[in-house]
């Protein structure tokens, strides 16, 4: 009843704004970003076994039993998962896949029986709207936007998990809805998929571990980069605001995938170029998981 009444109010609100001549794009962005925030909870609670947890699942006290990186090109995935993706604008960095527009999607299918499956979502000021489906049924729709001040992590870091599923194989799919968040961006970033409560034999692990190769992980003992003349004084401070935060990691990522010009202030491993390794290191430093030496 609450959702039905709220929907009627929103329809009336949209009609009035349209009569006032306010653009449909502005209305859509405002309503989706501000007015419908309460509906995120309604979507998530339609099924009582679907929860949206704050933070990164791999650091939970009870993390998923099996984790598969969204980017299958970064590291071989465990045999308990099969992952497919599609769309016109996909970007890859480390274990993550960025769904950049409304054509993009990514789906994980379990190859063993389980009763609990989830996905790690990430977003910042360019975060857009995503839809999550489990076994082809929509279980959550919401914005992945984060201002950096609305979360203890400084980003939209959420692990969506559905449990108490029937014993069997399951699929979980994330779709970019093509709707921008408050910041005007439409990006939806998927880090990894998780599984627990496996009820059938797990296929033997291959030699390829879930952990990335040592070559893809920057050394903890790397010397700090001295900024090039004319750049920021703080290594990794891509927007020159004097602090290292998630926005710098996002800017470094855009440099790495060629969306914006490269700035070597983001080159934390001092190899002469900005890569996803640098973006990952900046993110980990901003979250307090590494120290800028």
d(CA 44, CA 154): 22
pLDDT at 2: 44
d(CA 85, CA 96): 12
| Sites in the chain below the pLDDT cut of 50 | 1-11, 13-20, 22-48, 202-232
d(CA 131, CA 106): 11
pLDDT at 14: 47
pLDDT at 197: 81
Contact call for residues 193 and 119 (beta carbons, < 8 A): yes
pLDDT at 206: 41
* Other residues' Cβ atoms within 10 Å of the Cβ of residue 41: 12
pLDDT at 152: 56
Contacts of residue 122, Cβ cutoff 8 Å, sequence gap at least 6: 96, 144, 155, 156, 157, 189, 190, 191
CA 33 from chain centre, in angstroms, equals 17
d(CA 154, CA 125): 10
Q: Which residue has the tokens 């033997």?
A: 204
pTM here is: 0.56
The 10s digit of each residue's pLDDT in 203-240 is 444 444 344 443 333 444 444 433 333 334 688 888 88
């Amino acid at each position: 009843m609450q959702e039905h009444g709220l929907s009627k109010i929103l329809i009336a609100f949209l009609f009035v704004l349209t009569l006032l001549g306010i653009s449909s794009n502005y209305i859509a962005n405002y309503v989706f970003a501000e007015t419908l925030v309460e509906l995120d909870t309604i979507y998530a609670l339609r099924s009582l076994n679907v929860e949206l947890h704050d933070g990164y699942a791999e650091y939970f006290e009870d993390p998923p039993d099996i984790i598969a990186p969204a980017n299958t090109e970064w590291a071989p995935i465990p045999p308990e998962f099969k992952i497919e993706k599609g769309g016109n604008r996909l970007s890859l960095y480390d274990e993550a896949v960025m769904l950049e527009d409304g054509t993009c999607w990514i789906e994980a299918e379990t190859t063993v029986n389980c009763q609990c499956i989830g996905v790690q979502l990430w977003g910042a000021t360019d975060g857009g709207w995503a839809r999550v489906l489990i076994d082809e049924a929509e279980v959550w729709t919401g914005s992945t936007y984060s201002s950096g001040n609305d979360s203890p992590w400084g980003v939209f870091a959420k692990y969506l998990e559905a449990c108490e599923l029937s014993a069997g194989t399951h699929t979980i799919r994330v779709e970019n809805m093509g709707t921008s968040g408050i910041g005007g961006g439409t990006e939806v970033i998927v880090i990894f998929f998780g599984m627990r409560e496996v009820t059938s034999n797990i296929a033997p692990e291959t030699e390829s571990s879930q952990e990335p190769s040592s070559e893809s992980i920057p050394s903890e003992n790397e010397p700090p980069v001295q900024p090039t003349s004319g750049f920021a004084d703080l290594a990794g401070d891509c927007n020159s605001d004097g602090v290292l935060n998630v926005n710098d990691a996002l800017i470094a990522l855009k440099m790495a995938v060629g969306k914006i010009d490269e700035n070597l202030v983001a080159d934390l491993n001092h190899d002469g170029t900005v890569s996803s390794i640098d973006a990952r290191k900046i993110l980990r430093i901003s979250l307090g998981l590494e120290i800028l030496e």
